[in-house]
């Protein structure tokens, strides 16, 4: 590998090890001169690492801008437990009051969205929305500031699951009850949402005490919370003045959007595949530069995305082993390696993710399409290599038999011929004359075995010096 390529690879590895930088923000304006604003942060889609980073940065910007409140607008089917717990910890520690708002009409805050809504200082919903169905898939990381363990005398889960599912359910019940007690909301319904996957409409949630109010839009929301007192981090109480403030939307920037793309497990797998084949093409044809560069970037982005997800590294190792087997199949065609690589890739993809959260599942059609594409590419390449191997050699001693030569001189059974641009010693069983065309039968060291060529229509190979 050339030094320039080694330097490029080292630089990319170093860059991938550096966490994504927080988007630079303008310095906070002077106190007293800053217009009061409500910063709106939109969560639209599955909860994942990109969502957690967006909310963390949004809260930091709100604190720097001295925003009156943060409106966290939710429309989510749920997502990863690890990202959800990170968001909850940030909400609890936020010095700026956060208003959770399930909107627009038709939206929902299901699963992880219910926990996040319970964690906000004020919980609100738009008409025609719903919350609930918070049965856990994978919950188990404690959150700073909340008690650990299940509630006293917690009944076993009604799902009839095994011990692991009972532990996860009890832990989730403890979490949502702790959030309900912290924000003075209905803890019993929160437990029901976890154990029985219960859901509520906006009006029913208000009547049940699961939320604080129902508002038609964000302007109506700000009018309704004007004058309310909330408790922020550190036990301080803060009275909201939101009657006539402007609403600003937080733009997460391109880094967050990129993170949202590469943490999709399907995209991460495709990036890894593109990276592996980019490097293969670079090694097959050194000097192309582009396949190696693009392949290295794709491979690092794929690894970075998977590293942020709850993956099983045994599954990842099986997928990489399958790709290695299929790459070897390209250079050394064997049916065993090709089938073994395909099976290893499919088994690894089935084991890759430890959880199946909304928005973070591997698409089986995509995996089958990728597997068929990879195996088909390997089969086509192997077939081409076999065809090349079956052709006669074009250079070297193996290429001499069958070649036409011209007799230079001949005495009895030996003489010299001109073949392949060179003068050769030759022997044969026939008497030959100078200038006669002969055919090379075999090569023995530096001696050719020749015989008279039928007719004299073939031109000798090269010109005699």
Element (H, E) at 123: strand 122-125
Examine the pLDDT at 23 and tell me if it is beyond 80. Answer: no
Mean pLDDT of the chain: 79
pLDDT, mean of residues 277-301: 82
pLDDT tens profile 308-361 = 888 788 888 888 888 788 777 766 766 677 778 778 877 887 788 776 677 777
Regarding predicted confidence, which is higher, 162 or 415?
A: 415
- 23: tokens are 């988007």
Which residues are bridge partners to 311 per DSSP? 353
Examine the pLDDT at 20 and tell me if it is beyond 80. Answer: no
The dihedral built from the CA positions of residue 429, 432, 434 and 435, taken in this order, carries a sign that is negative
- 116: tokens are 């996040």
Give me the pLDDT at residue 142, please: 46
Going by C-alpha positions, the residue among 177, 176, 175, 173 that lies closest to residue 157 is 173
One-character DSSP codes across 129-147: -EEE----SS-----TTS-
pLDDT tier, 151 (very low <50, low <70, confident <90, very high otherwise)? very low
Task: State the Cα angle at 310 between 304 and 311, rounded to 5°.
Answer: 75
Examine the pLDDT at 19 and tell me if it is beyond 50. Answer: no
% of residues, the chain, pLDDT over 70:
77
Which residues are bridge partners to 98 per DSSP? 70
As its CATH architecture, domain 401-452 has: Beta Barrel (2.40)
pLDDT tens profile 252-280 = 888 888 888 888 888 888 888 888 778 87
**Contacting residues for 335 by C-beta, under 8 A, at least 6 apart:** none
Regarding predicted confidence, which is higher, 447 or 43?
A: 43
- Answer for the pair 269, 367: CB distance below 8 angstroms, yes or no: yes
pLDDT tier, 459 (very low <50, low <70, confident <90, very high otherwise)? very low
Examine the pLDDT at 27 and tell me if it is beyond 60. Answer: no
Distance between CA atoms of 178 and 155, rounded to whole angstroms?
17
* Whether this model's pTM surpasses 0.85: no
Give me the pLDDT at residue 73, please: 96
Instruction: Locate the domains of the chain by residue range.
Output: 19-252, 263-390, 401-452
Examine the pLDDT at 167 and tell me if it is beyond 70. Answer: yes
- Tell me the fold of 19-252: 2-enoyl-CoA Hydratase; Chain A, domain 1 (3.90.226)
Q: What is the DSSP letter of 122?
A: E
Examine the pLDDT at 463 and tell me if it is beyond 80. Answer: no
Is 401-452 in the same CATH topology as 19-252? no
């Amino acid at each position: 590998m050339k030094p320039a390529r080694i330097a490029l690879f080292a630089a990319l590895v170093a860059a991938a090890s550096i966490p994504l930088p927080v988007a630079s923000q303008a310095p906070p304006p002077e106190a007293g001169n800053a217009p009061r604003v409500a910063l709106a942060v939109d969560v639209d889609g599955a909860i994942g690492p990109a969502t957690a980073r967006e909310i963390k940065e949004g809260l930091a910007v709100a604190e720097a801008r001295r925003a009156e409140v943060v409106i966290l607008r939710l429309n989510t089917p749920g997502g990863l437990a690890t990202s959800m717990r990170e968001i909850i910890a940030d909400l609890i520690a936020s010095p700026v009051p956060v208003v959770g708002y399930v909107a627009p009409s038709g939206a929902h805050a299901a699963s992880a969205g219910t926990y996040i809504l319970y964690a906000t200082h004020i919980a609100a919903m738009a008409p025609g929305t719903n919350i609930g169905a918070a049965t856990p898939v994978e919950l188990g990381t404690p959150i700073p500031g909340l008690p650990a363990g299940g509630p006293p005398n917690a009944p076993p889960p009604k799902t009839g699951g095994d011990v692991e599912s009972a532990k996860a359910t009890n832990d989730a019940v403890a979490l949502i009850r702790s959030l309900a007690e912290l924000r003075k909301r209905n803890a019993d319904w929160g437990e029901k949402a976890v154990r029985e996957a219960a859901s509520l409409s906006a009006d029913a949630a208000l009547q049940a005490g699961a939320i604080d109010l129902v508002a038609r839009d964000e302007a109506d929301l700000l009018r309704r919370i004007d004058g309310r007192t909330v408790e922020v981090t550190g036990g301080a109480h803060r009275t909201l003045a939101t009657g006539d403030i402007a609403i600003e939307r937080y733009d997460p920037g391109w880094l967050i959007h990129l993170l949202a793309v590469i943490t999709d497990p399907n995209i991460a797998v495709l990036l890894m595949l593109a990276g592996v084949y980019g490097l293969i093409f670079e090694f097959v044809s050194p000097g192309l530069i582009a396949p190696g560069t693009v392949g290295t970037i794709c491979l690092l982005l794929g690894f970075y995305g998977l590293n942020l997800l709850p993956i099983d590294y045994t599954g990842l190792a099986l997928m990489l082993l399958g790709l290695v087997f299929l790459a070897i199949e390209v250079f050394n065609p064997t049916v065993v390696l090709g089938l073994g690589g395909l099976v290893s890739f499919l088994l690894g993809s089935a084991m890759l993710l430890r959880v199946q959260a909304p928005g973070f599942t591997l698409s089986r059609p995509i995996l089958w399409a990728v597997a068929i594409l990879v195996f088909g590419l390997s089969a086509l390449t192997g077939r081409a290599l076999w065809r090349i191997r079956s052709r006669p050699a074009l250079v070297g001693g193996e290429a001499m038999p069958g070649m036409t030569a011209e007799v230079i001189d001949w005495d009895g059974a030996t003489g010299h011929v001109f073949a392949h641009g060179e003068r050769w010693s030759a022997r044969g069983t026939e008497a030959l004359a100078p200038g006669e065309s002969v055919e090379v039968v075999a090569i023995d060291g530096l001696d050719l075995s020749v015989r008279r060529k039928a007719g004299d229509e073939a031109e000798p190979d090269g010109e005699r010096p």
